[in-house]
Amino acid sequence: MASKPVVINELLYFLTNNIGLLDNEAFVFNVSKFYSQEEIDGSLKYLKNEFEQFKNEIVDKLNLHGTNKIDKLLDCISVLKCFISNNLLEKLAVFVSKDLNRVPRLENVIKVNFESLRCEISELIVKQQAYISNTLEIFKEQLSQVTAFDKQMHQVNEKLNLVASNFNKTVAAVENTSNVDSILFPPLNNNISTTARFVNKNNKLNNDTTRTPTNNIKPTWGDRVAMDIPSDDNQSDDNFTLVQRNKNKNKPRTLPLVVAKSAATLSVQRKQKIDQTKKVIGRKNDCSSTIRPMKMEPRKKLVYVGKLDQCTSEDVINHLKSINVNAISAIPLTKSIFNKKSSTNNDNNNNSQTSDSKTSAAFRILFLESDLDKVLNEDNWPNGVVLHEWCFFNNHVQQSVSNAVAPSSING
């Protein structure tokens, strides 16, 4: 059997001789304090190399992710535990120490543990004291706010009590004044009887020759109105009754505005209503009934032709035939602005002529809609002739336009 290699490593020597304490947290903490960072890094590097050699015999997987000193020490302990669990510790080298005086004693470990515990406990106590003091300060501030609010509420209650007492005094004073008024100004019947007694007494003392009957003394009409006494119309000396005047309501002087809808608006509304209704168009061709669809005439178009030399309707129709357009009619526009440029002799001649033989510089031609492209083709007309589709205007528009320009100028 080959002899085991000997490796000088202070940390691994101490750990392999204290395998039973590897799970003790205090032991691990104190070992990290005894040994330096370099010793822990060298021990971990050596154990990783040994782990790679026995990788085929080890079943467990290691997760070594230590960054600081104590974490790397825990990684070393994890590798040693892996070797122990797989019975490979005997195959490792023998770890020795070259300076046994550096090996830490358990008594020192316990002392260090107590000192660390004392430091930790003292730090915790200091933190708790600071937290308690801060909490007490917060409670003091809240208590001061509560006391200030209590003082404000007490002042408000005092003001409310003062207002209530003043109100009670005012009510009592008003009641007293009402009693005094009843004493100074008794009811009307008492006033009448008292007045009668005073009048009788004065009459007796003065020995007046004219004595007025005191039983018939009545208050004046103004007193009756002020004291709200109903008048007695049967008495001869009371010929007045209080009449309440009815205030006339302010009637509006202007009649209510009636918004009249224009014919265009009514037509648009009518068209919208028709469009909203359901519409069906028949498609049957061979219908056996006696009804037949209405014969649809071809659509027609009106076009204005102007800026011509004086010509007749027949001349315009012949020109349209030359461009393969069958004109239905060609009405001369005698009031066109282009006719004003002609001499008065032409106007006199036109008045004596018939509608077919009248000459004009502008016409309104009627033809089928299918020939519109031919008519409005600029290559089919002489240079300078003006053409456009006929523009329809309502009556008031035509009237307003005619006041400004000639009627024929609407379309040319």
Q: What percent of the chain has pLDDT over 90?
A: 22
160-189 core/surface letters (b: 16 or more CB in 10 A; e: else) = eeeeeeeeeeeeeeeeeeeeeeeeeeeeee
CB atoms under 10 Å from CB of 78, counted, come to 17
Considering only CA atoms, which of 387, 375, 384 is closest in space to residue 411?
Answer: 387
Instruction: Output the pLDDT for position 396.
Output: 46
Mind listing the pLDDT tens digit for each residue in 283-321? 887 777 778 888 888 899 999 999 998 899 999 999 999
For 83, residues 6+ apart whose C-beta sits below 8 A from its C-beta are: 50, 51, 54, 58, 89, 92
3-state secondary structure of 65: coil
CATH topology of domain 300-411: Alpha-Beta Plaits (3.30.70)
Considering only CA atoms, which of 403, 378, 399 is closest in space to residue 388?
Answer: 378
Cβ distance 196 to 219 under 8 Å? no
3-state secondary structure of 8: strand
Q: With the CA atoms of 209, 210, 216 and 221 taken in that order, what torsion angle do they form, in degrees rounded to the nearest 10?
A: -140
Considering only CA atoms, which of 368, 391, 371, 400 is closest in space to residue 306?
Answer: 391
Confidence of residue 15 (pLDDT cuts 50, 70, 90): confident
Instruction: Output the pLDDT for position 366.
Output: 94
Residues 319-332, mean pLDDT to the nearest whole number: 92
CA separation (Å) from 334 to 14, 52, 340?
A: 132, 119, 9
Considering only CA atoms, which of 301, 322, 311, 269 is closest in space to residue 367?
Answer: 301
Mind listing the pLDDT tens digit for each residue in 331-364? 998 777 777 655 444 554 545 445 556 889 999 9
Instruction: Output the pLDDT for position 400.
Output: 39
Considering only CA atoms, which of 241, 410, 261, 266 is closest in space to residue 336?
Answer: 410
Residues 106-117, mean pLDDT to the nearest whole number: 62
Confidence of residue 48 (pLDDT cuts 50, 70, 90): confident
Residue spans in the chain of domains classed CATH 3.30.70.330: 300-411
Which one-letter amino acid corresponds to residue 146? Answer: V
Instruction: Output the pLDDT for position 399.
Output: 45
CA separation (Å) from 33 to 8, 39, 43, 78, 109?
A: 20, 12, 15, 19, 10
Give CA–CA dist 102/36, Å, rounded: 12
Mind listing the pLDDT tens digit for each residue in 202-260? 555 555 444 545 555 556 666 665 565 555 544 555 556 666 676 666 665 665 555 56
Q: Which residue has the tokens 């409005």?
A: 376
Q: Per mean pLDDT, which range of 1-15, 27-41, 165-179, 243-257 is the poorest?
A: 243-257
Q: What percent of the chain has pLDDT over 70?
A: 66
CB atoms under 10 Å from CB of 334, counted, come to 16
CB atoms under 10 Å from CB of 41, counted, come to 14
What does pLDDT average to over the chain? 75
| Three-class HEC string of 321-358 | HHCCCCCCEEEECCCCCCHHHCCHHHHHHHHHCCCCCC
CB atoms under 10 Å from CB of 380, counted, come to 17
Q: Kindly report the pTM of this predicted structure.
A: 0.30
User: DSSP for 100-145?
Assistant: GGGSPPHHHHHHHHHHHHHHHHHHHHHHHHHHHHHHHHHHHHHHHH
